[in-house]
Structure 1
Amino acid sequence: MAAPSPDDGKVTPLPPVPSRTEQVYEAIVRDICTGQLQPGVPLRQEQLAERFQVSRQPVQQALLLLRNEGLLREFGRRGLEVAPLRRKFVSQLFELRAILDGQAARLAAQRGTAESLERLRGVVGTGERAFEDRAFSHMITADVDFHRGVVDAAGNPLLTESTGVLWRNVQRVMGEVLLQGGAPAWVWEDHAAIFAAITAGDADEAEALARRHAEHGEQLILDGLPPEVD
C-alpha cells in the first residue's frame, strides 16, 4: 500500500505560539536569571499557577522541562527547587560553549548575510548601552541575544537547536554573577571584536576570539561563585 500523500486533504493545525507552557517556562527562566527565584527555594505548582494566572497543567509541564534542562532539581518527595551552581557544572558548560561558539563564529564569518550581520550590529549597540547604564537584566538579555545572533548568522538550523539548552544555562549562571558583582568592560569589548572579525570575513580570527571569550566567561563566573559551592 502506498504511503499517504502530504497533500491528501487532511488538515494538521499548528500549535499556538507561544503556548501556555512556553509562557510559563519563559517566566520561570526569567525569574531564575534575575534572582527572584533563588537556589534552594521550593517551587510549588499551585503558587506558580496562581501567580501566572494559569491552570496547573502548563506549570507542571514547564517545571518538568526545566528539570530536564538542569535548571531545577528534585528534593524531598516529588518536590522541585532551583538547582545550585556547581563549579564542575560551570566548567563543563563553558567547555561545550567554547566549541559551539567558536564554530558558530567561524561559520558566521563565512556565511553571514547582510541582514543577519545588521541585526548583530544592533545587538552590540544595545549591549554596550546596557553596560553603560548598568542595567543588569538588559545586559543578560543582550549577551544571550548576541551569541544567538552569531549562531543564527552561521546559517545552520541544527546548530541553532543544539545551543538552545546550552544558552538557557549560560543565561542563568551569567545572571547570578551579574547580580552579585556586575560585568567587566571586557565582555562587550570581546563582543565588538568578535563582530568585527565576522564582518571582515576572517573565520580563523572569529573562531579564536569566540573561544577565548568563552574561556574568559568561565573564569568570570568561577571567580564570582562563593567558596561553599565547591
Structure 2
Amino acid sequence: MTETFEWQGRVRLVEEVAQVLRQRIYRGVYPPGKPLRQVEISEDLKISRTPLREALRILEREGLVSAETARGVTVVSADFRQLMDAYELREVIDGLAARLAASRASELAGAPLRAVIDTQRGSLEPWLPEVYTAANVEFHTAIIGLAANEYLARQVPIVHMTSQVFAPRILFAKDRALAAIGEHEQIVAAIERADADQAEHLARLHIRNSMARLRTLAQSATGDAAAIASA
C-alpha cells in the first residue's frame, strides 16, 4: 500500500497525504474507531511526521478523524443517533441537489447518471458491495455537481461519511441495493424531465428509505443500536 509522492512544496505534499488517508478511510482500510499511529503511517508513506500531522488536522476539520481521545488520533465512529442525524442532513442535501439539477441541468445530464446506474447493476451478479457502494457515492456526488451550487458542493463529504464510513455494511445488502437502483432511475427520470418538485421529492424519499432500513436493523438487533452503527 506504499504511496509515491512528489515534493512540489509543503502545501501540495500535505494535500496529497490528506487525500491518501481520506481514501483509505473511505475504503475501510482505516475503519471507524481505528487509532492512526503517526509513526507507522509516516514510515508507510515515507514522509516526515510534520506534513502527516498537518494532513491529519485537515481530516479533523472535515470530521473524519478525532484527536480528542486518550489513544491519540482515531478515525471517527458514530452511534445510531449520530448516524440518523447524518442521514437527516443527507435528506436535505440530496433533495436540494436533485431540485437544482432538474432546474439547471440539460436533459443530456441523464446519460452519465445512467452510466453510473449501469455500474451499480453490474455489481449485483455477482454481488460486489464495494463496487456498488463506490458507484452509489459517485451517483449522489454527480447530482450535487449538476446542481452547480458551490456551497452545496462543499457538503460532498457527508455523502462519503454516511455511505462509506458510518453506514453498516448490511445497509447495502443486495436486496436494498436492487431497490435503491430503481429509486435512482426514478430520480434521473425526474431530472431529465426538468421536474424539480418531483426530483426533490424522490431524492428525499430515497434517503428516508435508507433511514427506514436502519431503523429496522436497529429494532432487530436485540436493542443494541450502537452495534448496528458499527457493524
TM-score, with length taken from structure 2? 0.79
Which residue does the alignment assign to 2:101?
Answer: 108
Identity of aligned residues (%): 30
Between 142-151 and 126-135, the greater mean CA deviation after superposition = 126-135
Deviations 1:22-75 (A, max 9, x none): 333333233333332233321111211222233323321222222222222221
Larger radius of gyration: 1
Distance 1:172 1:133, change over 3 A: same
User: Does 1:151 find its partner at 2:144?
Assistant: yes
- SS of structure 2 residue aligned to 1:137: helix
Deviations 1:188-221 (A, max 9, x none): 1111111111112221111111001111222334
- SS of structure 2 residue aligned to 1:132: coil
Counterpart contact for 2:108–2:192, Cα < 8 Å: no
Which residue does the alignment assign to 1:204?
Answer: 197
Which residue does the alignment assign to 2:226?
Answer: 229
Letter in 1 for 2:20: A
Between 24-33 and 82-91, the greater mean CA deviation after superposition = 24-33
User: Does 1:137 find its partner at 2:130?
Assistant: yes
User: Does 1:171 find its partner at 2:163?
Assistant: yes
User: Does 1:98 find its partner at 2:98?
Assistant: no
Query: Unaligned regions of 5+ residues in structure 2, if any?
Result: 1-7
Between 61-70 and 203-212, the greater mean CA deviation after superposition = 61-70
Distance 1:70 1:155, change over 3 A: closer
Which residue does the alignment assign to 2:3?
Answer: none
Which residue does the alignment assign to 1:53?
Answer: 46
Q: How many residues are matched?
A: 212
Distance 1:138 1:158, change over 3 A: same
User: Does 1:182 find its partner at 2:173?
Assistant: yes
Which residue does the alignment assign to 1:124?
Answer: 117
Which residue does the alignment assign to 1:12?
Answer: none
Letter in 1 for 2:126: D
- Provide the rounded CA distance (Å) in 1 between the counterparts of 2:172 and 2:111: 31
Which residue does the alignment assign to 2:69?
Answer: 75
Which residue does the alignment assign to 1:214?
Answer: 207
Q: CA deviation at 1:95?
A: 1.1
- SS of structure 1 residue aligned to 2:21: helix
Letter in 2 for 1:177: P
- SS of structure 1 residue aligned to 2:132: helix
Counterpart contact for 1:117–1:153, Cα < 8 Å: no
TM-score, with length taken from structure 1? 0.79
Q: CA deviation at 1:93?
A: 1.0
